[in-house]
Each structure stands twice: as structure tokens, then as C-alpha cells.
Structure 1
């Protein structure tokens, strides 16, 4: 089970105040966990837009199972 956990571990992103982050919801982006527009060609779900309200490091979900998008809630540990 250690392989899936490592594969879907969250990615730390140093967020900037008022910067918009587009979290990939479809899983097709090569730039995980952020959107690169791949959903358009795949006709998949569009990204979730998030605007940072403070400067901090946040852990973005890569497994797409989080109940607190775009942030990791540990759901990858259940895969």
C-alpha cells in the first residue's frame, strides 16, 4: 500500500496573497496538482479556482478524493 500513498502525496505550494490557483480536478494535468488545461482535450471537469487570502505554504491534494478541495485532508492514505 505504500506505492499509492507516495504516488498521491500532497504537494506543498508557497501561496501568494491574492494569487489565483487553478487546482486540477480531473487528474489529467501534467502539472499536478495545478491545471495545465488538459481537461479541455479530454472533455473532463474544469479546474477549481482558489484565491489565496494569506501568504503561506499549503498542501494541495493530488488524489482528488479530498473533502476539503483543493487542500489535502489525508484521503490518499485510504487508497
Structure 2
């Protein structure tokens, strides 16, 4: 089983518009973080779709360990402390 690459130990705060659908890079290999660019091909990791429920700023996970999928849940703190790979 492939493991995601930690790209950032901080989330990516980005604006989204209501109804906009984006694909969050779950593997950490994309050159277009936090969005998927297809670099996951050849791994067993797939991107995660996110559809904005309203216009807002979304804090997309950069450490790739969020329990809330594409949205930051603070797991980057555990990564900083060496508790997650």
C-alpha cells in the first residue's frame, strides 16, 4: 500500500465558489498542490472530489493525513511532532 507524501505542514487556504468541484491531491505527488494533476497514477492512492457548498475559504490539507479528507483537521501538528510519517 502506497503512503502519501507530506507536502506541507500547513493547510492551503484557498477560495472556492458555491458548486465548484475540485480534486484534492491525496498522494502528495502533484506539482499543482493542493489539487490533483494525475501524478498518483501507478499508486493505489486516488484524488478526492470536493464540491463547495457555498462561497468560502477552504483550508485544504497539505500534510495528507487529515481524517476529514481534503479539509484540514489539524493533523499537521502531529506530523510536526513526528507522530505521523
TM-score by length of 1: 0.83
Number of residue pairs matched by the alignment:
72
Does 1:70 find its partner at 2:67?
Answer: no
Counterpart of 1:56? 56
Counterpart of 1:22? 23
**1-structure distance, mates of 2:9, 2:44:** 20
Give unmatched runs, 5+ long, in structure 2. 1-7, 80-85
**1-structure distance, mates of 2:17, 2:44:** 28
**2-structure distance, mates of 1:43, 1:22:** 16
RMSD, aligned α-carbons:
1.1
TM-score by length of 2: 0.78
- Compute the displacement of 1:33 (Å): 1.1
Give unmatched runs, 5+ long, in structure 1. 1-6
- Compute the displacement of 1:43 (Å): 3.0
